[in-house]
Amino acid sequence: MNAKHEIIIRASIGPISLKTLIQTTDYTAKGIYKAVAELHKQGFIIKVSRKDTVTIALSSSYKVAKTAELYFTAFIHGIDPKIFDQKSFQRIWQCLHRHQQVSIKKCQKQTGYHYQTIHQIFKTFRNTGLAEITCEKPLILHLTDHPVNHRLHELHQSEQHETITTGGYPIIKETYATPETIRKYLHNRHGRAYIYGTNTSLPHQEFLEILHSTTPTVTPEQVFISAIHTSHGVEETCVLLLKTGRLDMKKLLKVAKEKNEASIVGCYLDIIHSLASELVSQKTIDRFHHEKEDGKTKTWLKSEKQYGKEKWSIPYEKKWNLVIYIDIGAIRHTLRGET
């Protein structure tokens, strides 16, 4: 572990004064000053000066936060964070993570590294408990459930989100994202984020972006199911998703069945079919109706009950076993492109 690793680990616990840092480390003052200057230049830390005291704290970016968590987790498990500085370690770890079980030969094909380099990294994985042997000849490893592997996964995973943009003023971008992707958004833009309830809004000059947390896997079908339970989702988001043509109706039915939402989704598609048949086929309506939930009548958009109901909904309620509170006029408005 070098001075920069130690500073990041110490700062991950909480802000620390430069004086205290120098007094409680084995590194020289010169070495600490140099490491602090490099980390500050790289954007890892911020320095706050008050009178004669300089305090060091981690910057708010997602990458910095996850790197600090990785270093701290490794440290408390007796693993030297310096291994993470090796590009070969990171690439070989990603190879193992992607393919679950990997031999040296397969790893060579995936990474282009020499046999000796991979063999040495494999040894590091085994010695640190990050991987276990599944086969001796040929040597095959698989990653363990070690906490460090979880931190590495978080650091390397890509953003998963779907964004729906509505017109009008202000333009609204609704982004449905995984919890970890939202965490990344908040770290990188925390100074501009407004939090209300369990949602977050990020105002920009040209538009307002609203973040919604969704399942670990973000697909247009998952977004549709989430949006159908809000008035804005029913009136705009779901309509716009249908207009994009990106929805796979078989997948949508599968997700709806898993969440016991086939009746609500089917009813919505039925309504859309009556207004714009080119967006939803009758065959799709029939498939959903075949899978609708029987038993207790569900209430759809109970939050809109205060605005009452109209007679147009009665046939749909009987057909889908629902009590419906939606604004069909707003749906028509979006279908005409007047958002």
Write down the domain spans for the chain: 3-61, 86-154, 252-339
pLDDT score of 304: 84
Amino acid of residue 85: D
Distance CA 311, CA 107 (A): 65
**Which CATH architecture does the domain made up of 3-61 adopt?**
Orthogonal Bundle (1.10)
Distance CA 113, CA 197 (A): 49
Instruction: Say yes or no: do domains 3-61 and 86-154 share a fold.
Output: yes
pLDDT tens digit at each of 339 positions of the chain: 899 999 999 999 999 999 999 999 999 999 999 999 999 999 999 988 888 888 999 988 888 989 999 999 999 999 999 999 999 999 999 999 988 888 898 999 988 999 999 999 999 999 999 999 988 888 888 999 999 999 999 888 776 666 666 655 556 677 777 777 777 777 766 555 554 444 555 555 566 667 767 666 678 888 898 889 888 889 888 998 898 888 999 999 999 999 999 999 999 999 999 999 999 999 999 999 999 988 888 999 888 887 877 889 999 999 999 999 988 988 998 888 754
Q: Supply the CATH classification number for the domain 86-154.
A: 1.10.10.10
User: Would you say 56 and 17 are in contact if contact means Cβ atoms under 8 Å apart?
Assistant: yes
Nearest CA to 25 out of 40, 44, 9, 38 is that of: 9
User: What are 29's two structure tokens?
Assistant: 């003052």
| Cβ-based neighbours of 69, under 8 Å, separated by 6 or more | 12, 151, 154
Has this prediction a pTM greater than 0.75?
A: no
Nearest CA to 199 out of 217, 218, 179 is that of: 179
Distance CA 186, CA 167 (A): 25
Distance CA 108, CA 87 (A): 15
Distance CA 279, CA 272 (A): 7
In 124-134, which positions are buried (b, 16+ CB within 10 angstroms) versus exposed (e)? bbeebebbeee
